[in-house]
């Protein structure tokens, strides 16, 4: 049997002006995960996006996973790989700078 | 239970050697009469699909509206239907519940936003018109909330049950190159936005607004993708059915559902949910008056769950079977 895999698109061309978290996503079956954050637009003086992986035992209560956050200051694609993350994943995203505004697509690529 | 229906052709399994100590049942060559995973279903003559979600997502993709490459053009009602999940049904109080058999179930989860809908679609085409049957074992929940406890809680009925809105099964069928195209949709309305329990099966009385209709300026609302106006639903006669929510937001009980529609007659036939069987042959099914290209022999199946309040709603499916009589 080849290894099972699945890509979830958790945000599609979504525009944000303040901090947010992606929806909880169940990952118990997967041993590998890779976040992809695609910034399609970014505006605001000194705008910066900072995405931190979070884990949870139940989809209700969350803590940081511990890997260094992804930081992006402009349009582009960035990625982060995780292992041993347990059964739930989400991204905690913070925006900084003056009147920051971003349009993003966020993927979670999972593999057994 | 019609056991003759379980003569399933499984060529790979038929040729696989069994250990000597395993008693091999008497059966015709190449046929397995008693696959326990299928014995709980009642399929028609030919099984097209057997989805056991311990095996993966099985092609239940996120529903999305038509677009031309620019996702900014996605219609608001169909731009955020959420990717399905493989859930081991873990809850904060007792940990992993597991599915009906095995560990994983397909899970559709809304956002914690009123009227948000999570929808997944399975896309097939058909060989011949005629009866089509969809069966599944499902359960449903509203996410646990931690509001101030209700001082009047009686220890039996959970306020969480009022936080589960609706779930819907539907299809999308196009008979030929230019149609006709029709959509059957059957909805279990559990509770109103005010939290009043309804617990009835409904059918829709208007068409799902297509992207083509939307671009012609025919969209009237963006909170229910199934219908032209939000109140275009009627009760199925005899369709009241309290399901087993089971007193808390973390106990899941699996229910059986069997839905038959007929693509030759372009109508529903019947819906069975546990012991309730509803004759749907007299229920009107709306059909599109205009032609649609590139949908020849379309046969789509959809599952969705819709929040009545700002609380995540979940639909879990342990396994599903789609069968036909051709």
pLDDT in tens, B196-218: 999 999 999 999 899 999 999 99
pLDDT of B9 reads 35
* Residue B189 pLDDT: 98
Question: How many domains does one find in chain B?
Answer: 2
Number of domains within chain A: 1
Expressed as residue numbers, the domain containing A54 is 5-79+90-111
pLDDT of residue B25: 36
* The pLDDT of residue B4 is above 90: no
| Residues B80 and B114 reside in one and the same domain | yes
Is residue B308 predicted with pLDDT exceeding 80?
A: yes
Residue B29 and residue B54 in one domain: no
Q: Which of B78, B84, B24, B96 is nearest to B51 (CA)?
A: B84
Cβ B326 vs Cβ B127: under 8 Å: yes
Contact B87 A26 (CB under 8 A): yes
* Same domain for B11 and B144: no
Average pLDDT along chain B: 90
The residue ranking higher by pLDDT, B27 or B96, is: B96
* pLDDT greater at residue B2 or residue A104: A104
Query: According to the model, what pLDDT value does residue A14 have?
Result: 98
A106/B83 Cα distance (integer angstroms) = 12
Residue A57 lies in a domain: yes
What is the per-residue pLDDT across B251-279, written as a single tens digit (0 to 9) for each? Answer: 999 999 999 999 999 999 999 999 999 99
Asked whether residue B93 falls in the same domain as residue B181, the answer is yes
> Pairing mode, if any, of strands B95-96 and B61-62?
unpaired
Judgement on whether residues B109 and B190 belong to the same structural domain of the protein: yes
Does residue A26 lie in a domain region? yes
Q: Residue B201 is part of a domain; what is its CATH number?
A: 2.60.120.260
Cβ neighbour number for residue B245 with a 10 Å cutoff: 23
B285 and B206 fall within a common domain: yes
Residue of B nearest to A62 (CA): B92
User: Cβ separation of B72 and A13 shorter than 8 Å?
Assistant: yes
**ipTM of this complex:** 0.97
Q: What's the pLDDT at B289? A: 86
The mean pLDDT of B1-15, rounded to a whole number, is 36
Instruction: Give A103 to chain B, closest Cα distance, Å.
Output: 10
Q: B164-190: string of b/e by CB count within 10 Å (b at 16+)?
A: bbbbbbbbbbbbeeebebbbbbbbbbb
Examine residue A84 and state whether it is found in any structural domain, yes or no. no
Average pLDDT over residues A24-42: 98
List the end-to-end C-alpha distance of chain A, in Å, as a whole number.
11
* Assigned domain for A85 exists: no
Residues B127 and B85 in one domain: yes
CA pair distance B126, B81, nearest whole angstrom: 25
The shortest C-alpha distance from A106 to chain B (Å) reads 12
Q: How confident is the model at residue B23 (pLDDT cuts 50, 70, 90)?
A: very low
Binned at pLDDT 50, 70 and 90, residue B149 comes out as confident
Write out the residue range of the structural domain in which residue B29 sits. Answer: 1-35
The residue-averaged pLDDT of B283-291 equals 91
Judged by CB atoms closer than 8 Å, whether chains meet at A60 and B143 is answered as yes
CB crowding A30-64: b at 16 or more within 10 Å, else e? bebbebbbbbbebeeeebbbebbbbbbebbeebee
Q: Is the pLDDT of residue B172 over 60?
A: yes
Give the residue carrying structure tokens 């009835």. B200
> Do B20 and B59 fall into the same domain?
no
**Cβ neighbours around B117 below 10 Å, total:** 27
Same domain, B62 and B4: no
Give the distance from residue B181's alpha carbon to the nearest chain A alpha carbon, in angstroms: 29
When pLDDT is cut at 50, 70 and 90, the band that residue B36 belongs to is confident
Are B26 and B54 members of one domain? no
Coil vs helix vs strand at A93? strand
CATH code of the domain in which A37 resides = 2.60.120
Residue B14 banded pLDDT, cuts 50, 70, 90: very low
**How many other C-beta atoms are found inside a 10 Å radius of the C-beta of residue B87?**
26
Q: Evaluate if residue B290 carries a pLDDT over 90.
A: no
Tell me the pLDDT tens digit for each residue of B52-72: 999 999 999 999 999 999 999
Mean pLDDT of B83-112: 98
Query: Quick one: what percent of chain B has pLDDT higher than 90?
Result: 83
Q: Within this chain, do residues B161 and B287 fall inside the same structural domain, yes or no?
A: yes
What is residue B148's predicted lDDT score, i.e. its pLDDT?
82
Q: Which of B79, B90, B109 sits opposite A87 (nearest CB)?
A: B90
Say whether both B6 and B49 belong to one domain: no
Interface subset of B 67-126, CB within 8 angstroms of A:
71-72, 74, 79-80, 82-83, 85-88, 90-92, 96, 103-104, 107, 109, 111
């Amino acid at each position: 049997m080849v290894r099972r895999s699945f890509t979830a698109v958790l945000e599609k061309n979504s525009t944000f002006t303040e901090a947010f978290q992606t929806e909880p996503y169940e990952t118990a079956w997967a041993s590998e995960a890779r976040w992809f954050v695609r910034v399609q637009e970014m505006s605001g003086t000194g705008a910066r996006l900072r995405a931190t992986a979070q884990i949870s035992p139940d989809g209700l209560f969350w803590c940081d996973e511990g890997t260094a956050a992804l930081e992006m200051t402009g349009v582009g694609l960035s990625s982060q790989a995780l292992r041993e993350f347990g059964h739930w994943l989400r991204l905690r995203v913070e925006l900084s700078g003056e009147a920051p505004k971003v349009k993003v697509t966020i993927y979670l690529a999972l593999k057994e | 239970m019609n056991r003759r229906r379980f003569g399933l052709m499984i060529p790979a399994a038929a040729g696989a050697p069994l250990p000597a100590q395993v008693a091999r049942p008497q059966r015709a060559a190449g046929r397995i009469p008693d696959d326990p995973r299928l014995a709980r279903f009642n399929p028609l003559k030919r099984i097209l699909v057997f989805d056991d979600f311990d095996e993966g997502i099985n092609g239940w993709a996120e529903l999305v509206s038509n677009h031309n490459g620019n996702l900014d053009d996605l219609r608001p009602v169909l731009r955020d239907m959420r990717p399905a999940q493989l859930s081991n049904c873990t809850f904060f109080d007792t940990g992993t519940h597991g599915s009906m058999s095995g560990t994983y179930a397909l899970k559709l989860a809304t956002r914690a936003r009123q009227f948000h809908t999570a929808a997944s679609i399975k896309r097939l085409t058909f060989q011949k018109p005629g009866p089509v049957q969809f069966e599944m074992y499902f359960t449903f929940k509203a996410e646990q909330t931690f509001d101030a406890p209700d001082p009047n809680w009686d220890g039996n009925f959970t306020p969480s049950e009022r936080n589960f809105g609706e779930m819907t099964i539907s299809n999308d069928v196009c008979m030929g190159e230019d149609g006709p195209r029709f959509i059957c949709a059957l909805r279990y309305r559990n509770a109103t936005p005010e939290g009043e329990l309804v617990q009835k099966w409904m059918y829709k009385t208007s068409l799902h607004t297509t992207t083509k209709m939307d671009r012609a300026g025919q969209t009237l609302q963006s909170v229910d993708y199934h219908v032209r106006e939000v109140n275009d639903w009627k009760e199925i006669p005899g369709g009241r059915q309290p399901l087993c929510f089971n007193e808390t937001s973390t106990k899941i009980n699996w229910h059986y559902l069997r839905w038959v529609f007929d693509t030759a007659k372009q109508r529903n036939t019947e819906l069975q949910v546990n012991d309730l069987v509803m004759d749907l042959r007299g229920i009107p099914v709306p059909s599109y008056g205009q032609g649609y290209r590139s949908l020849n022999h379309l046969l789509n199946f959809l599952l969705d769950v819709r929040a009545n309040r700002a609380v995540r709603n979940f639909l879990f499916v342990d396994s599903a079977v789609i069968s036909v009589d051709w």
